[in-house]
Amino acid sequence: MVAAAGGVPTVVIAAPSSGSGKTTVTTGLIGALRAAGHRVAPFKVGPDYIDPGYHAVAAGRPGRNLDPNLVGEDLIAPLFAHGAAGADIAVVEGVMGLFDGRITSDEVGAAGTDALGIGSTAHVASIIGAPVVLVVDAGGHSQSLAAVLHGFLSYDSSVHIAGVILNRVGSPRHEMVLRQACARVGVPVFGVVRRDPSLTVPSRHLGLIPAAERSADAVAAVASMTDHLRDSLDLPAIVAAARQRRVPDAAPWSAAEALAPYVDGAPAPAARPVVAVAGGAAFTFGYAEHAEMLRAAGAEVVAFDPLCDRLPPGTAGVVIGGGFPEEHAEELGANVELRADLRAHAAAGRPIHAECAGLIYLAEHLDGRPMSGVLDIAGSFGPRLTLGYRDAVAVSDSVLFRAGERVTGHEFHRSTVTAGEGAATPAWAWRDAEGRGATDGVVTTAVHASYLHLHPAAIPEALHRFLARVGSRSCTMPTNC
C-alpha cells in the first residue's frame, strides 16, 4: 500500500464510554489486517501498559503509547511517526470515552481542546489527523442510538468520525434497527459484532491480565479475536477510512536525537555497560522507547526474569518497571540468589531505577513474604486503587533527577509502602486534588524508586544521567555482581 497524502493511513478506535469493547475490537482488527497482508503499527492512547501487550501479539511488533499528559503535545506526532515506521497502516486504540481526558480545576470552562480533556482520544486523533471509528456497545441501544451518534458527530468539529462498529448485537432484527439508526444520521457501519462470551479476556484487580503472563493463552485469545473480527468487520471500508488521514507524518522521534543535547562530548566507553531490565510474568509494564533510549545512550540492554534468573554477568545498572509482584510473591521470594545480587549491586553504588512494582520488589517484604530487601520499606496489598496523573517535583538529587526538577507521571496500584527507620529521602513531592501535600518513593545513593510511572521520551536528561552513572560503575567481575 502507498501512504496517503496525510502520511501512513491511520484509524483511531474509540467509544462513547469505557467498557464498550475497544480492546477486543482493536486487537481483532489489528490481527485481521495483518492476516490480510498489512504491516500494522499498533498504538494505545494514554498510560496503559496492558492493552499494548495484546496489540503486540496481534501485530507482531511492539505496541506503543501516545499520551500528551506524559510527554507533552509536541512529542505525540513524532512518537507516532517513529512507531509507524515501516507500516502501511496504523491502528490506535482510544482511552475511556472519546472526549474523556485529564482536566484540572483551573481548566474547567476553558475553550478549546483543553476543555475536552488533555490526552483524550479526541485530542490525540486531532493531533495526528486521523479519522475515528466509534465502537458502540449496542446491548442497550435501539432507535435512540441515532441521537447518541448525532451528539458525538456534532460535539467537536476537529474530530472526524468516519463510521461505527456495532458491538454485542443480539439478533438480526436488532442489527436491522441499529443500522437504520446509523443511516438516519449518515454514519456508515463498518462492522457488526455479535454477542460472544468467548471473546472476553480474563481480568483481575488492575484490569486485563497482561498478555506476557498468559503466554500461550494470550496467543490463543488473540487468534480467537482475529478470527471473529475478520468475519465481522468490513476491512476494505476501514482501510479506506484510514486513508482519509488529514495530517502528514511528522519527522520521526529519535532516541539518539533526544539524548544528543545532554551528551558532553566525552568519548564513549570502550565496552557497552550492561543494563539489566526486569521482565517475565511479574514485570510486564514498560514503554518500548525505554530500551531504545538506553541502547542509544550506549548501553547493552539485557532482559532478566526475577522469578528465576540472577543478574546478568557484568550488570552495571538495573531497571525494574511495573507489573504484578503480588501475584508472584512466593516465586520472587524464593529466588534468594537474585535478592542477594540486588542488595550487593546497590551496596556497591551501582544504580537502580524502579517504578511501582519495582518499588515493591525492592522492599524488605510484601505482606510478610520476602522481597529483595534493597530498601528499608515494607509493602502491603489492599483494596484501595490509587490511580491518576501526578505533577511531581524531585525532592533531592538522585541517580536520575536533580532536586527541583518537575515531571508528570502516572500512578496505578493497590499496594502501599511503609518506610522503616533506615529509609532515605522521598523521591517525589506533589499536591493532591484537594491541595494537600504528598510524597512518594525512596532515594538512596544508588536507588531511585517510586510508584510514579514516567515515559522515557519525556525525561531524556534523566536517562542520560542514569547511563552516565552506569558507565562510571561498570562491573568488572566475570560473573554476577
**pLDDT tens per residue, range 32-85:** 999 999 999 999 999 988 899 999 999 999 999 999 999 999 999 999 999 999
Question: Is a pLDDT exceeding 50 seen at residue 1?
Answer: no
| The last residue of a domain, from among 190, 216, 242 | 242
- 43, 91 contact by CB (below 8 A): yes
Span 284-316, pLDDT tens digits: 999 999 999 999 999 999 999 999 999 999 999
Residues 221 and 270 in one domain: no
H helices within 233-287, ranges in order?
235-242, 255-259
Decide if 356 is catalytic: yes
Q: Is residue 111 part of a domain?
A: yes
Q: Is residue 399 part of a domain?
A: yes
Residues 211 and 294 in one domain: no
Q: Is residue 416 part of a domain?
A: yes
Residue 314 domain boundaries? 255-472
Q: What is the CATH number of the domain that holds 451?
A: 3.40.50.880
The confidence band for 472, taking pLDDT boundaries of 50, 70 and 90, is: confident
Residues 329 and 465 in one domain: yes
Span 347-369, pLDDT tens digits: 999 999 999 999 999 999 999 99
Residues 268 and 314 in one domain: yes
Q: Is residue 248 part of a domain?
A: no
CA-to-CA separations, 380 to 126, 340, 427, in angstroms, rounded? 41, 22, 19
User: Which residues fall within 8 angstroms of residue 194, CB to CB, at 6 or more apart?
Assistant: 168, 169, 170, 232
Give this prediction's pTM.
Answer: 0.92
The confidence band for 276, taking pLDDT boundaries of 50, 70 and 90, is: very high
Please state the domain count of the chain. 2
Question: Is a pLDDT exceeding 90 seen at residue 221?
Answer: no
Question: Is a pLDDT exceeding 90 seen at residue 173?
Answer: yes
Select which of 182, 356, 475, 481 is catalytic.
356
CA-to-CA separations, 161 to 22, 137, 248, 426, in angstroms, rounded? 15, 16, 19, 46
Residues 393 and 467 in one domain: yes
Q: What percent of the chain lies above the pLDDT cut of 70?
A: 88
Residues 200 and 321 in one domain: no
- For cell 538506553, what's the residue? 294
- For cell 441499529, what's the residue? 178
pLDDT at position 107 is 47
Residues 205 and 281 in one domain: no
How far is it, in rounded angstroms, from Cα 417 to Cα 49? 22
pLDDT at position 263 is 81
- 92, 143 contact by CB (below 8 A): no
E-strand stretches of 2-124: 10-14, 40-45, 64-66, 89-93
Q: What is the CATH number of the domain that holds 90?
A: 3.40.50.300
